[in-house]
Structure 1
Amino acid sequence: MKSKWTFSFFFLLPVLFVLCLWNYNNRVYDWDMPGYIGSMYTSQYPNNPEKVKELTFSSIQKEAPIDQYNDVIGKNPKDVARQYFEKSTKAFSEQLPYFQIKVGYNLAITILYKIGFTAPMSVLFLSLLSYFFSGILLFFVFKIIFPNNILIVFFITLAILLLPPMTYMARVSTPDMFILQFLLIFMIGLFSRWKRWIMFSILFAITFIRPDYITFTLTYLITDFLFNFYERKKINFNVILQTSILFFLYIFIVKFYHYPGWKNLFYDSFICRRPIISEELADFGITDYLRILLRKIIYFKKVSLIAFGSLGLIFYLSKDKWTRFYSVFIFANIYIKFVFFPHSSGLRFFFGFILLLLIMLMYSISQRYNRYELDKNS
C-alpha cells in the first residue's frame, strides 16, 4: 500500500506542474497588483512615494498585455478611482495601507523579488507556487480522510484543483491562494490532533499573512475552548493567552500600517471608491449598511446553498460531536466574513472556508463508511 501511495503522489506532481503551466499561460494582471507591488516598493523606498508609484506602474506596463494594463489603470473599462491612482501619488499612497497589512503575503512577494523575479512576476508566481503546494496539501488532507482509497484521494484532489475559483486564484494577484495553503495545513493539524501550541503557530501565521482572518483564528480558539470544556469540564487558560497574543498582533499590524479601518474599507468597496481617501469621509449609517447587506445576500444564494447543504449532510452522516462542533465553526466563518465584507459576487473571498467545510463533509462520509465496515466485520 505504501508503494502505491508513493506512486500516486509522484504521479500527481507532473499533473500539478502542467496545471501550473496552464494557469501561468492564462495569468491576469488585475487592479489589485499595483497595491501589492506598491507595498513592496514602499518597504524599500519609504521616503519616496513618487518613486514607488512610478516603479509600480512602469513595471506592470512592461509585462502586462495592453488590454489588461488599461484595465489596471482604469482606462478601459473606465474607472475614475484607478485613473487617479496611476496619476496621483497622494491617491495611490493613501490606498496602500489596505494592502500593506497583509504582512506575511507582502514578505513572500519581497523574497521572490529579491531572488530575481520581476515585481509583477513576484506577485503572480507566488499564486502559482501556492496553487502547486495547495495541490500537495489537498492530497495529504484526503489521504488522512480516506487512508485506504488511493484513487478517491487522487481524483478528489484533481477535481478541486480544476474548480474555477481555484484556477482563478492561481492566476491573479491576491493573497487568497497563498492563505489557502495555511488553511489546509490547519486542517491537517485539526485531523491529526496536533498539540495546541503547534496549532497556535499556524493561527499566528494565518493572522500575520492576513489580519482580516483574525475572526477565523479567534473563533477557532473559542470553539476549541468550548468543546474541551464541554467534554472534560476543564478550563484551558492557554487559550486566553493565545487569544490575547493574536489580538495584540492584529492591533499592532493595524496601527503600524495606519490601516484606515473597516468603515473606510466598506465604504470604498460597496458604496463609492474614493480616489483620495483623505478628501472625503466614509459617511454611512447602520441603515445604509443593512440595505447593502440585504441586497448582497440575495446574490449569495450559491454559497448559501453549498454551505447549508454541506452542513446538513454533515449532521445527517455523522453523529460525532467533534465533527459537528468544528463544522459549525467553519460554517459560521463563512457568514462572519460575509457580514464584514459582503462581496457576494466574489467567490474567492469565501472559497477557503467553503473548501474547509467540504473537507469536513468528506470526513463525515469517511466516518460513516468506516463505521459501516466496522459493524460489518464485528
Structure 2
Amino acid sequence: MKLKWGLSFLFFIIGLSFLTFSCYQNRVYDWDMPGYLGSVYSWEFPDDAKKVQEKVYSDIEKEASKAEFNDILHYNHANEVFYADYKAFGEQLPYYKIKIGFNAAVYALYKLGFTGPHSVLLVNIFSYFICGLLMFYVLRLLFPQNYFIAPLLSLFVFWFPPVRDMAQNPTPDMFVFVFLMLFIISLLQKKSELLQFIFLLCCVLIRPDYVLFAMSYLFVVFVFQYFKENKQINYSLILQGFSIAVIYIAIIKYYNYPGWKDLFYDSFFYRRPVISAEKAEFTFQKYFDFLLFKLINFKRITLASVILVASTFYFSKDWWIRILSLLFFINIYIKFVFFPDSANLRFFLGFVLLLFIVFLYALSKKYNGFQLRKNA
C-alpha cells in the first residue's frame, strides 16, 4: 500500500511541478500590481510617497513585457494619472494596504532578496503548489483505497484555467485559498475551534472582505450547536466573532479605507483618478440594475454551485454537511452582492472548490465508509 501511494504521489508531484512552472512562465503583470507593490514599498519608505511611486513603476518596467507595461499605464485614464501623479497614486493605495496578510508575505519574499514584482507573483506561485499538495492530502483521506483518484482529480482541478489564473495574477486569491483549504480540512477532521478560528482570521487578514464568511460561519455554528446539541450558549464563538470584527474594523480604520461604496463606484462605474476630488455617488436603483445585469452573466458559477449543493444533499443525510454546503453556497452570493464581478471567477472560485470538497466528502462517506469523524 505504501509503495502504491508513493508512486501515486510521485506521479502527482511531477504533474503539479509542471503545472506550477507553467504558471510561473505565464505570470501576469497587470494593473493590480502597482497597488500591492506600492503598499509594500510604503513599508520600506514610509515618509517618501514620491519615491514609492517612482520605484513601483520603474521596477515593473524592468520585468514586464512592453505590452504588459503599456497596458498597466493605459488600462484607463485613472492609471495614466497614477503613473504621472504620486499623490493620486497614494490615494488609491488603501484599497490594497488593507490586505496586510498578502502584503506581509510579499514583503517577506522581498526582504529575502526577490525583486518587488517577482515577490508579488511568487506568493501566488508558491500558494498554488501548496494548495495542490493540500488537495492531494484531502483526496487521499477521502479515497484511501483508490490510488488513482487523488493524483488525477487533484491535477485536473489545478489544471482548470480559472485556478491557474489565480496563481498567475498579482492578487491575494490564491494565497487566501491556502487557508480556506486548511480551514476545510480542520473542519472535516473536527479539529479544535481555536485552529479553525486561526485559519479564518488568516483569511480575513489576507482579504478583509472574508469577514463576512468568517462571521456567517461562526453564526451558523453557534445556532447549530445551540439547537442541535446542548441548548447552551458557546461564549467561545461569541468571543471569536467579536475578535474578528474588532480586527477588521481596526484594519479599515488604520489604513483609512474609503469604504464599500467607494470601492463599488471605482470598480464598476468610474475609476476616479483622484479619490478626494469627487464623491462616490450612485443611487440604489443604479446599483440594483447593475447587480441584476451581472447576475444574468453569472450562469456558470450558479450552475456548478447548484449541482454541487444538490448532489451533496442527495448523497448525505448528515445535517451538518448539508448546512456546510448551503453556507458555502450562500457566501458565493453574499460576495456577489457586494462585488458582482461575474466575469472574474477568482472572487468566487474558492467557495466553489469548498463546495466540491464537501460534495466529495459526502460521496466518500456514502460509498467508502471512510473514517473521518462526524462533525455533528
> Paired residue for 1:262, among 260, 263, 266?
260
Is the 1:124–1:172 Cα contact (8 Å) retained in structure 2? yes
1:7 — aligned with what?
Answer: 7
Partner of 2:373: none
The residue number in structure 1 matching 2:43 is 43
Write out aligned runs for 1:290-369 (5 A).
290-369=288-367
In the TM superposition, 1:1-378 aligns within 5 A as 1-74=1-74, 79-232=76-229, 233-370=231-368
- Say which SS state the counterpart of residue 31 (structure 1) adopts: coil
Q: C-alpha displacement at 1:144, in angstroms? A: 2.1
SS at match of 1:150: coil
Counterparts of 1:234 and 1:314, CA distance in 2: 29
Unaligned runs of 5+ in 2: 371-376
- One-letter amino acid matched to 1:58: S
Q: Deviations over 1:68-100 (max 9, x none)?
A: 0001111xxx51111111111111101100000
Q: 1:128 Cα shift?
A: 0.7
- Give the residue type in structure 2 aligned to 1:48: D
Give, in whole Å, the separation in 2 of the partners of 1:266 and 1:260.
Answer: 11
> Given residue 245 of structure 1, which amino acid in structure 2 is its aligned partner?
S
Give the TM-score, by structure 1 length: 0.95
CA distance in 2, matches of 1:257, 1:149: 49
Q: Distance in 1 between matches of 2:125 and 2:198?
A: 24
Query: How far 1:137 sits from its partner (Å)?
Result: 0.6
Superposed displacement of residue 371, structure 1: 5.5
Give distance in 2, aligned partners of 1:239 and 1:340: 25
Distance in 1, matches of 2:232 and 2:322, equals 20
User: Percent same amino acid among aligned pairs?
Assistant: 46
> Are the counterparts in 2 of residues 141 and 187 from structure 1 also a CA contact under 8 Å?
no
Please state how far the C-alpha of 1:366 moved relative to its aligned partner. 1.3
- One-letter code of the match for 1:247? A
Which whole-Å CA distance do the structure 2 matches of 1:346 and 1:139 have between them?
26
Give the CA deviation at 1:168. Answer: 0.9
1:192 and 1:44 map into 2 onto residues whose CA distance is 41
- Could you report, residue by residue, the CA deviation over 1:236-268 in whole angstroms, capped at 9, with x for unpaired residues? 110000000000000000001110000000000
Task: Assess if the C-alpha contact under 8 Å between 1:227 and 1:325 holds in 2.
Answer: no
